[in-house]
Amino acid sequence: MIQNIAPHVLDNRFYTKASIREDACILFMQESKFLFRTENDVLRLPAFRECGMPAEDLRYLISVDDCDYYLSLKDAPDGLDVYHYGSLPDIRYASPAWMRYGVMTAHHLACWYLNNRYCGHCGGRMEPVGYERALECAACKNRVYPRINPCVIVGIIKGDRMLLTRSKMRPKRVNHSLVAGFAEIGETIEETVHREVMEETRLKVRNLHYYKSQPWALSASLLFGFYCELDGEDTLKLDDLELAEAVWASQDEITERDEGVSLTSEMIEQFRLHGRKVLDM
């Protein structure tokens, strides 16, 4: 999956760098888009040495090994014409994998900083807290932390078949997906599974089996993958605002292969290889 970058190591600790390396990667943002380029699918961000800007205009985000990522607090300078603005889905399959994951994680954090420049309580200016990754209002002392949205991915098993879906929100996506959705206030992640399955398909499920989690910067989420069994009737009634299609597929009927990026594709691949044994893995 996208976070599997070993032997490279993501360092997401909060601290202030004493100096900025010449090869540090700089995120210049326009709304949620950022400046980058690819050469033969190899991802590149502007380096500090290319930008000619003072260190005080940059905010440290994260690092991968010796590669540091910073958010620019100013617009991009002239002279970066080889780069262009794009969005995270544009680099979904870019290489190297460690750089892609570094950019996605840095982008998640950069968007949080940019979306919290002003206090949601009083409208005052938010400033970084010096000893932890947080922003605090200079006026009312309201403090906020990076936003992470918990979300479930659900593989529903009926006998020797699993339910595959297609989202109405991504009509151009070729591969199937699984039932998915965000956790609501006041519910456990297991309750989210039951609610999302009911809302999207009108099915009931049982025997929830936690599989794996994944940070997913495209929606600022932490994904929780579950397999579960159908409980009762298998008649589908799709939420026509969410799903364009849902089909029960056997192992042999699954033609997609794991793209090596998303939790969804890995879970579908595990079912293709092991069938309902995924409930016991």
The reported pLDDT for the residue numbered 122 is 96
Whether residues 270 and 202 fall in one domain: yes
Distance CA 269, CA 273 (A): 6
| CA-based end-to-end distance of the chain | 18
Return the biggest CA–CA distance within the chain. 64
Whether residues 183 and 109 fall in one domain: no
| pLDDT tens readout for residues 28-67 | 999 999 999 998 889 999 999 999 999 999 999 999 999 9
**Using a CB cutoff of 8 Å and minimum separation of 24, what contacts does 169-177 make?**
169/242, 171/244, 175/256, 175/259, 175/265, 176/247, 176/249, 176/254, 176/256, 176/268, 177/264
pTM of structure: 0.91
Over range 255-269, report the average pLDDT: 92
Give me the DSSP letters along 202-213.
---EEEEEEEEE
Domain count, the chain: 2
Structure token pair of residue 101: 């994951």
- C-alpha distance from residue 271 to each of 63, 198, 256 (Å): 35, 22, 11
Whether residues 172 and 247 fall in one domain: yes
State yes or no: pLDDT of 14 exceeds 80: yes
Within the chain, where are the H helices? 48-51, 97-115, 189-201, 263-274
Predicted confidence band at 260 (pLDDT cuts at 50, 70, 90)? confident
Q: Does residue 1 sit within a domain? A: no
Whether residues 251 and 186 fall in one domain: yes
Count of alpha carbons within 13 Å of 139, Cβ hemisphere only?
A: 9
Q: Does residue 213 sit within a domain? A: yes
Whether residues 250 and 176 fall in one domain: yes
Handedness of CA 24, 37, 170, 97 (dihedral sign): negative
* Residues spanned by the domain of 97: 10-115
Whether residues 251 and 154 fall in one domain: yes
Q: What is the CATH number of the domain that holds 156?
A: 3.90.79.10
| pLDDT tens readout for residues 171-221 | 566 678 999 999 999 999 999 999 999 999 999 999 999 999 999 999 999
State yes or no: pLDDT of 263 exceeds 80: yes
Distance CA 135, CA 117 (A): 9
Whose tokens are 């989690």? That residue is 213
Q: How far is CA 199 from the centre of its chain?
A: 23
Q: Does residue 2 sit within a domain? A: no
Q: Does residue 144 sit within a domain? A: no
Whether residues 154 and 106 fall in one domain: no
Q: Does residue 4 sit within a domain? A: no
Whether residues 105 and 153 fall in one domain: no
State yes or no: pLDDT of 240 exceeds 90: no
Distance CA 266, CA 256 (A): 10
Whether residues 270 and 172 fall in one domain: yes
| pLDDT tens readout for residues 60-95 | 999 999 999 999 999 999 999 999 999 999 999 899
Using alpha carbons only, give the angle 145, 147, 149 rounded to the nearest 5 degrees. Answer: 150
Distance CA 26, CA 106 (A): 10
Whether residues 162 and 106 fall in one domain: no
Whether residues 108 and 163 fall in one domain: no
Q: Does residue 171 sit within a domain? A: yes
**End of a domain among 70, 97, 115?**
115
Q: Which DSSP category does 96 fall into?
A: -
Predicted confidence band at 242 (pLDDT cuts at 50, 70, 90)? confident
Predicted confidence band at 18 (pLDDT cuts at 50, 70, 90)? confident
Q: Does residue 164 sit within a domain? A: yes
The reported pLDDT for the residue numbered 40 is 83
Give 274 or 260, the one with higher predicted confidence: 274
Over range 4-25, report the average pLDDT: 93
**End of a domain among 70, 92, 115?**
115
Whether residues 108 and 156 fall in one domain: no
Q: Does residue 136 sit within a domain? A: no
Q: For the chain, what percent of residues have pLDDT higher than 70? A: 98
